[in-house]
Structure 1
Amino acid sequence: MSTQHTHGGPTAARPDRHLPAGSAADGPYALRVDPERAGWTHSSLRVLELEPGGTHTLDTGDSEWIVLPLNGGCAVEVDGTTFELLGRESVFGGVTDFAYLPRSARAQITSGAGGRFALAGAKCGRRLPARYGPAPEVPVELRGSGTCSRQVNNFAAADSFDCDRLIAVEVLTPGGNWSSYPPHKHDEHRPGSESVLEEIYYFEIERDGLGYQRVSPSRDGGTDVLAEVRGGDAVLIPDGWHGPSIAPPGRTLYYLNVMAGPGATREWLICDHPDHAWIRGTWPQEPVDPRLPLYLPPAAASGSGSPAASGNGSPAVPGDGSPAPDTARDGDGERPETTEEGA
């Protein structure tokens, strides 16, 4: 059973920052988080469940969306074009292809065999063209080292796929490791140092395991959550230091990060918690967890590429086999504010 504890005065009345599986279900959606539900302005996430032969119509409204298979495949028809998504057996089995849907459109999602599909969304201003995201082009990066090692699938990171507002990545943390660590935040507008991003964490844990998620206040009355999370749970982070995300021994922890914000530039700029930022300095002395990568994009798996050194010395595995950009990221793909680039 998933539980949540809050600490401190005003935040004790806000248990809705942790949404146990099923608590935010709505019709065909096992999870539905929209700005109105979250009490913010931009970020959305829905988890669509389709029976074999099932069809769902999505009106994108004033948001852009990415259809990301969690398990199973589907066809996505939008603006007169149909994208056939091969999908995957599970989030623990491989990188998936995906489809981008523009605002002001009607899309139809159909699955012959059935499946579960994440719809990651963000309110936006520009109407970009509908597009297909091939699995071989998804950059896969390994971040941290030792027990802080994790894998990041940067399918819609700010520097890997063009969106107007939406930023989304997948993180896989081997059993017993910590990710989203050191704790970090992105709740202030500080040009060149930190951007404002509303964030959703959606969790799945291998073989029905459990994990833990911490969010601590960065301001008086801010978000304060310590949640036991299980498959299908979500945690909403409008502000605060988030991390660690803790994987149980023997079970891989998966989470999908969905972010968007009001800034004029689509970018990740974060600030590490000053009490914990020192951990980055220990990473160069430790090897990356040998269990990583858990898997590679299809092209890399077939031999077109091998792990290359990224800017922080951790292996990076872009889908085309080329080196990753010389840009440091933290455990959920975000760029840390540190005194040493790539630390």
Structure 2
Amino acid sequence: MTEWVRPAGTAADGGYDVVVRPGEPQWHHSGLLVRTLLPGQSVEIDTGDCEYIVLPLKGSAEVIVDGEAVPLGGRADVFAGATDLAYVPRNSTFAVVSAGGARIAFPHAKAAADHPFRRLGPEDVETELRGAGVASRQVRNFGTPGVLDADSIIACEVITPAGNWSSYPPHKHDEHRPGKESELEEIYYFELQLSDDVPEDVKGNDPIGYQRVYGTPERPIDVLAEVHSGDVVLVPHGWHGPAMAPPGYDMYYLNVMAGPGKERQWLITDDPQHAWVRELWNSQHIDPRLPFGEQGAES
């Protein structure tokens, strides 16, 4: 474990598998909770000055707000497809209960304005295929501007097939440059699975991936982390990428971003040393394994 890398279990607290909150040292705007609910269990959350998203990673649940139960059909796992979700505004109290058991993520961020409670269905989630060749990846935009009405939070899911790179070319969003770059800190939460083509005798192996973050002489940061399911990598600033899925291991990550800016925008700057990679995509095809299982939520 380092300041910016939190292996599974090291960020657990108070019954949560993962706890990252705005207000931690050198962390100001975005947060993430992950909770595993056994059948029949529930959890209650007071949002305070943060807006929240209720995102089933596995299983189904109900969100109870102001006495009303809103069902979330969820999904079998994060690779199975997009899920329905709920947005809960600041200064609210809500509960989540799961009859059959579930693993729920709660991305959140500091908010300065009120937005209404809302449920989004899997059909509302915009799926985007980015890159090409071995840089092909699938992005599920569920908490991005234009999809979710919110104050500051920006969130999405990324699927990277085995052998591919994502978050590539390396990029940053750590300074406010109007129309060019946003100032956003970012959370990566990882899950991995064995790819469909692995032999039977390795089906019990623990899948791995890798994440790179690096800075400048003025703002140094240096992370090259082996990541497993349940691990978290924090990006307070600096160039980040690639996220690498080795052969045999499919990678999922949940991104949660927020910053101090008044405008809710995701504007990035590519590392000039590697920006040329985008030109290669003009002559390459999207990986035919994509998209992964967009069959929608399961009840």
TM-score by length of 1: 0.81
Task: Tell which has more relative contact order, 1 or 2 (C-alpha 8 A, sep 6+).
Answer: 2
Matches within 5 A, 1:1-343: 15-37=2-24, 39-207=26-194, 208-296=206-294, 298=296
Provide the aligned length of Structure 1 versus Structure 2.
Answer: 286
Q: Mind listing any 5+ residue stretches in structure 1 that lack a counterpart?
A: 5-14, 300-343
| Contact map agreement 2:23 2:29 (CA 8 A) in 1 | no
| Contact map agreement 2:50 2:111 (CA 8 A) in 1 | yes
| CA deviation string 1:136-193 (max 9, x = no partner) | 1111010000000000000111222111000000000000000000000000111110
Q: Identify, as 1 or 2, the structure richer in strand.
A: 2
| Contact map agreement 1:33 1:44 (CA 8 A) in 2 | yes
Shift of 1:36: 2.5
* Distance in 2, Cα, partners of 1:221 & 1:194: 17
* Distance in 1, Cα, partners of 2:76 & 2:236: 32
| CA deviation string 1:33-57 (max 9, x = no partner) | 0023352221000101111100100
Shift of 1:224: 1.3
Quote the sequence identity (%): 53
* Distance in 2, Cα, partners of 1:219 & 1:287: 37
* Distance in 2, Cα, partners of 1:180 & 1:149: 10
| CA deviation string 1:11-46 (max 9, x = no partner) | xxxx21000000010022100000233522210001
Q: Which amino acid aligns with 1:88?
A: R
Q: Which amino acid aligns with 1:124?
A: A
Q: Which amino acid aligns with 1:126?
A: A
Secondary structure in 2 matching 1:188: strand
* Distance in 2, Cα, partners of 1:39 & 1:24: 16
| Contact map agreement 1:138 1:297 (CA 8 A) in 2 | no
* Distance in 2, Cα, partners of 1:25 & 1:40: 17
Secondary structure in 1 matching 2:23: helix
Q: Which amino acid aligns with 1:287?
A: H
| CA deviation string 1:37-96 (max 9, x = no partner) | 352221000101111100100000000000000001100011343210000110011110
Q: Mind listing any 5+ residue stretches in structure 2 that lack a counterpart?
A: 195-205
* Distance in 1, Cα, partners of 2:25 & 2:231: 14
Secondary structure in 2 matching 1:277: coil
| Contact map agreement 2:170 2:270 (CA 8 A) in 1 | yes
TM-score by length of 2: 0.93
Q: Identify, as 1 or 2, the structure richer in helix.
A: 1
Shift of 1:220: 2.4
* Distance in 1, Cα, partners of 2:71 & 2:164: 35
* Distance in 2, Cα, partners of 1:88 & 1:40: 31
4+ residue runs of structure 1 moved beyond 3 angstroms?
A: none
Q: Which amino acid aligns with 1:203?
A: F
| Contact map agreement 1:223 1:237 (CA 8 A) in 2 | no
* Distance in 2, Cα, partners of 1:218 & 1:140: 33
